């Protein structure tokens, strides 16, 4: 099949592009190269695949490329990914994540190419903080019915606090699903080819800081918990979703949203990560709409695609740290 991947030299895009090309598929790689590390990832891909078809495009130019290339499917990863950046410049955030995704999804619909989209757990907004929690020495955790289960896709997205980033990603998700694609509400993804920053990719960001002897800042008290999922498991799911959308029962999956995370078994708090890596952080005030606990219920994706995370947190963090030591 022929795939067009936006954000193809970002973290997820690089790993998926590599997997699809190794499988012998045709890939049209598209990226603006505006994100730190994207040019290095492009060089990495070209060293492995010298004939990589790559187009440098801003999001506004992607629909024209979709009409030109006419792929069978589109993976849409290009985005403005920073919460703080969305607060500082909500109009640019809207134009990339909401309007940009609408235009990509509409163009893909016009040529009958389903879209697989990376959304975010931020679409659940501040409602997550209304779930009863308990507090331990190093972490918060859900209490009651959510404990060890996590947030399901049916959890309300109707909250009064999302941040502009959460709003724009939710708008993009709605259009992708309306036009017959799949939206993946991603939790904390990590692994090789990730160049994390304070707003996104926090596991990578903390590893980079430690390796380069830079200070690390925790916003809040550090007991915030997230479920982490290694990129190998994310790519495995994306490939399974692609096959499902190309199969005889594609209507079962078109228009659906799926939680993508490590689940309770792969949760870690900021304090626990700092202790693991010997980091001595400083602390600043909580950020707007920051979720004290988030881990997702991945039952729907597991049942729909016969999928489960296979990389343990211990193995995955070692892999991330080793890769960062070589490439930071």
Question: What pLDDT sits at residue 200?
Answer: 83
Sequence-distant (6+) residues with CB within 8 A of 50 are none
Share of the chain above pLDDT 90, in %: 90
CATH code, domain carrying 232: 3.40.50.720
30: phi then psi, degrees, rounded to nearest 5:
-130, 135
pLDDT mean over 303-320: 98
User: Taking all residues of the chain, what is their mean pLDDT, rounded to a whole number?
Assistant: 95
The label of the residue with tokens 């954000």 reads 7
Residue 61: both structure tokens together = 């130019």
Q: Please tell me which residue, 246 or 87, carries the higher pLDDT value.
A: 246
Three-state DSSP class for residue 268: strand
Question: What pLDDT sits at residue 288?
Answer: 74
Residue 54: both structure tokens together = 């790559």
CB of 321 within 8 A of CB of 196?
A: no
289 pLDDT higher than 80: no
247 pLDDT higher than 80: yes
Burial per residue of 96-121, b for 16 or more beta-carbon CB atoms within 10 angstroms, e otherwise: bbbbbbbbbbebbbeeebbbbbbbbb
Per-residue pLDDT tens digits for 55-114: 999 999 999 999 999 999 999 999 988 888 888 999 999 999 999 999 999 999 999 999
pLDDT mean over 265-288: 95
252 pLDDT higher than 80: yes
pLDDT mean over 191-210: 93
Per-residue pLDDT tens digits for 125-174: 889 999 999 999 999 999 999 999 999 999 999 887 888 988 999 999 99
Beta bridge partners of 106: none
41: phi then psi, degrees, rounded to nearest 5:
-65, -35
Question: What pLDDT sits at residue 287?
Answer: 83
Per-residue pLDDT tens digits for 18-51: 999 999 999 999 999 998 899 999 999 999 999 9
Q: What is the residue range of 198's domain? A: 2-327
Beta bridge partners of 119: 185
Q: For the chain, what is the total number of helices (H) and then of strands (E)?
A: 12, 15
Helices (H), the chain: 11-22, 38-48, 62-69, 83-88, 90-93, 100-110, 163-178, 202-211, 231-245, 270-277, 299-305, 313-327
Residue 199: both structure tokens together = 């707003």
* Count of the separate structural domains present in the chain: 1
Q: Please tell me which residue, 233 or 328, carries the higher pLDDT value.
A: 233
pLDDT mean over 230-253: 97
CB of 3 within 8 A of CB of 27?
A: yes
Query: What is the model's pTM?
Result: 0.95
Give the confidence band of 180 by pLDDT, cuts at 50, 70, 90. very high
284: phi then psi, degrees, rounded to nearest 5:
-135, 180
Residues forming the active site: 165
Burial per residue of 42-76, b for 16 or more beta-carbon CB atoms within 10 angstroms, e otherwise: bebbeeebeebebbebebeebbebbeebebbbbbb
CB of 176 within 8 A of CB of 108?
A: no
């Amino acid at each position: 099949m022929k795939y067009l991947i936006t954000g193809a030299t970002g973290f997820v895009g690089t790993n998926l592009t590599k997997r699809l090309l190794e499988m012998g598929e045709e890939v049209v790689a598209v990226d603006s190269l505006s994100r730190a590390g994207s040019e290095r990832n492009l060089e990495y891909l070209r060293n492995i695949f010298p004939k990589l078809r790559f187009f440098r495009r801003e999001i506004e130019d992607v629909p024209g490329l979709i009409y030109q290339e006419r792929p069978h499917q589109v993976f849409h990863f290009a985005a403005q990914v920073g919460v703080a950046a969305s607060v500082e410049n909500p109009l640019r955030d809207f134009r990339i994540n909401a309007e940009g995704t609408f235009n990509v999804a509409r163009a893909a619909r016009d040529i009958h190419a389903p879209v697989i989209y990376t959304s975010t757990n931020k679409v659940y907004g501040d409602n997550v903080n209304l779930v009863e929690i308990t507090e331990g020495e190093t972490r918060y955790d859900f209490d009651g019915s959510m404990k060890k289960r996590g947030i399901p896709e049916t959890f309300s997205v109707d909250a009064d606090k999302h941040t502009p980033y959460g709003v724009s990603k939710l708008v993009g998700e709605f259009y992708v699903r309306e036009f017959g694609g799949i939206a993946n509400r991603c939790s904390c993804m990590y692994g090789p080819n990730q160049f994390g920053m304070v707003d996104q990719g926090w596991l990578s960001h903390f590893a980079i800081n430690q390796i380069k002897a830079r200070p690390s800042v925790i916003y809040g008290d550090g007991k915030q918990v997230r479920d982490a999922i290694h990129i190998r498991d994310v790519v495995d799911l994306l490939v399974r979703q692609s096959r499902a959308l190309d199969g005889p029962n594609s209507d079962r999956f078109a228009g659906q949203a799926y939680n993508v995370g490590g689940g309770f078994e792969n949760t870690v708090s900021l304090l626990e990560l700092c202790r693991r890596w010997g980091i001595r952080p400083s602390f600043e005030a909580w950020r707007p709409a920051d979720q004290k606990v988030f881990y997702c219920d991945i039952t729907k994706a597991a049942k729909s695609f016969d999928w489960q995370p296979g990389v343990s947190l211990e193995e995955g963090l070692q892999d991330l740290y080793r890769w960062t030591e070589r490439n930071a």
